[in-house]
Amino acid sequence: MATRVIGAAGLARDLGRWRDPETDGDERRPHRPAYLALAEAIRLLIHDGRAPLGVALPSERDLAATLGVSRTTITSTYSLLREHGYLISRQGSRSTVALPPSIQHDGTRPARGIMALMAQPELPTIDMTYAAMSAPPELHDAYSVALQGIPAYLGTHGMDPVGVLALREALARRYTARGLPTEPDQILVTLGAQHGLRLLLNVLTSPAARVLIDHPSYPNAIEAIRDVGARPIPVPLRPEFPSAGWDLEGLRSTARQTAATLAYLVPDFNNPTGLLLDADGRAELAAIARDTRMTIVVDESMRDLDLSDDDMPPPVAAFAKGSEIITIGSASKSFWGGLRVGWVRTNQALITKLLGIRATVDLGTPVMDQLATVHLLENAEPILDRRRAQLRAQRATLLTAVAEELPDWHIAPGAGGMSVWAQLPSPVSTALAATAPNHGVLLAAGPRFGVQGAFERFIRLPFTHPEADLRLAVKSIAAAYTALTPRAADPLQPLTCY
């Protein structure tokens, strides 16, 4: 397999104004040498996940020509990165992006904050490691209706691995109303979107297979990919891009370079950024799937949580011409995390294969939960309107609190979802998450949402708690962050030359 390479033009674009102001445009002016400024800029791209691990940097000649600097500057830059463990060189091949062994981690270990909470259960804390809301009042009615409907199923064995027809019909109607004609036999009801993804991975991947992902992405999906022996391949999200963050050309290039046959993407309010892929981007995404013969699993779990005033684009699968787009969804984010009902929308042939795998895992989704979900879907809009209004208010409270308590943090809110992706001035996310429990708040560090240690300069902040709790949580985070700065403003220490 050929090594994936970052193009010189793409790297230059991400670097932006990497020079020191004092040396901008003139490498001869004394201050910080250009190679040191460039090395520091590339290092930050690595920690931000925009230069993925294992990817090769451009050749020295190409990057020198693109940046308009001498080749000696690039040689010195690469040498410094190599010396500090940010590049690995092997004889006969390009230098590839890495992290120093002292700070590598894959994000699979439990957050230290969670362990601290278990050790000190009496410590009052606000748990910001999850993004989920409490149940709406209508859930009680939904189960009451389900209880009235359950007698019709009691004369059967109650184990239906496909899902009850009433729910599949309700889901098919919702897809059709959104511009994606769907029949009930195109729906497989699962125990949540995560369960659906796991079934798909078992059918569509093999050990060592490459699966493209948004970067950052949903941590449990990354772990599911790893758990089946596949390898998640990150394609960085770039919020400044026209397609609302998705580097579609980068996705196409990565699919071709890695020969990936599967991708897992969250174009409907990406978790954790809240970004939304527009209609043109969705059409291009479907075209990429066809052109590269790659199947794309689109996770629509956050789809109902639009917090903007714009119209929602059609489902990605509406742009498909065959079976290249598979959609998974869930009732958990829209209604309640304890409602373990999800679904897969795909063709009948694949559903048959999924049922073969499912028989070794479980025997179906509980009928009561399915019937309750039918009632919720049929009465969804008043519930969702109220929940969206609540999320808007809570997000505004969170953003105001961060602006007041942590003014040097940068947040660009997405179009929806349940969280914002905060950029810290320094790569201290893991240290902050480890310290935060001592100040009464639990955090999920940025690297949980990436692969191999990316996103040390980011942290996810859910806004699913009540407003008073959010204000208190931000005060606690600010206290933890202040406690870090005297000794860990930059725990990785800036690159220096010897």
- Secondary structure of the chain in the HEC alphabet? CCCCECCHHHHHHHHCCCCCCCCCCCCCCCCCCHHHHHHHHHHHHHHCCCCCCCCECCCHHHHHHHHCCCHHHHHHHHHHHHHCCCEECCCCCCCEECCCHHHCCCCCCCCHHHHHHHHCCCCCCEEECCCCCCCCCHHHHHHHHHHHHHHHHCCCCCCCCCCCHHHHHHHHHHHHHCCCCCCHHHEEEECCHHHHHHHHHHHHCCCCCEEEEEECCCHHHHHHHHHCCCEEEEEEECCCCCCCCECHHHHHHHHHHHCCCEEEECCECCCCCCCECCHHHHHHHHHHHHHHCCEEEEECCCCCCECCCCCCCCCHHHHCCCCCEEEEEECCCCCCCCCCCEEEECCHHHHHHHHHHHCCCCCCCCHHHHHHHHHHHHCHHHHHHHHHHHHHHHHHHHHHHHHHHCCCCEECCCCECCEEEEECCCCCHHHHHHHHHHHCEEECEHHHHCCCCCCCCEEEEECCCCHHHHHHHHHHHHHHHHHHHHHHCCCCCCCCCC
Fold of 8-97: Arc Repressor Mutant, subunit A (1.10.10)
Phi, psi (deg, nearest 5) at residue 196: -60, -40
Nearest CA-CA partner of 167 in 375, 315, 384: 375
Query: What confidence tens digit (pLDDT) does each residue in 249-297 have?
Result: 999 999 999 999 999 999 999 999 999 999 999 999 999 999 999 999 9
- Can you name the residues that pair with 187 across neighbouring β-strands? 345
Domain boundaries, the chain: 8-97, 111-135+382-485, 137-379
Q: Give Cβ neighbours of residue 432 (< 8 Å, ≥ 6 apart).
A: 424, 443, 445, 459, 477, 480, 481, 484
* 182 compared with 1, residue with greater pLDDT: 182
Please report the pLDDT score of residue 261 as a whole number. Answer: 95
Best mean pLDDT range from 73-82, 287-296, 309-318: 287-296
What letter represents residue 468's amino acid?
A: A
Fold of 111-135+382-485: Aspartate Aminotransferase, domain 1 (3.90.1150)
pLDDT at 23 over 50: no
Taking residues 60-82, what's their average pLDDT? Answer: 88
Fold of 137-379: Aspartate Aminotransferase; domain 2 (3.40.640)
CB 235 within 8 A of CB 6: no
Cβ count within 10 A of residue 171: 23
**Alpha carbon distance 354, 344 (integer Å):** 10
Taking residues 450-464, what's their average pLDDT? Answer: 91
Per-residue confidence band for 324, with pLDDT thresholds at 50, 70 and 90: very high
**Alpha carbon distance 39, 65 (integer Å):** 17
Query: Which token pair is 421?
Result: 């992706």
**Alpha carbon distance 241, 487 (integer Å):** 36
CA distances for 364 relative to 243, 258, 338, 340, 380, angstroms: 38, 36, 17, 11, 24
- Can you name the residues that pair with 461 across neighbouring β-strands? 420
CB 452 within 8 A of CB 108: no
Please state, for a pLDDT cut of 70, what percent of the chain lies above it: 88
Q: What angle do CA 301, 307, 309 make, to 5 degrees?
A: 125
Query: Which token pair is 276?
Result: 């939304």
Phi, psi (deg, nearest 5) at residue 167: -75, -40
pLDDT at 197 over 80: yes
Nearest CA-CA partner of 344 in 219, 171, 169: 171
Nearest CA-CA partner of 352 in 185, 228, 201: 185
pLDDT, mean over the chain:
87
**Alpha carbon distance 366, 160 (integer Å):** 9
pLDDT at 109 over 70: no
Please report the pLDDT score of residue 106 as a whole number. Answer: 43
Per-residue confidence band for 485, with pLDDT thresholds at 50, 70 and 90: low
Please report the pLDDT score of residue 14 as a whole number. Answer: 74
**Alpha carbon distance 438, 125 (integer Å):** 9
Please state, for a pLDDT cut of 90, what percent of the chain lies above it: 62
- Can you name the residues that pair with 268 across neighbouring β-strands? 276
Please report the pLDDT score of residue 210 as a whole number. Answer: 95
Please report the pLDDT score of residue 492 as a whole number. Answer: 39
pLDDT at 493 over 60: no
**Alpha carbon distance 344, 333 (integer Å):** 16
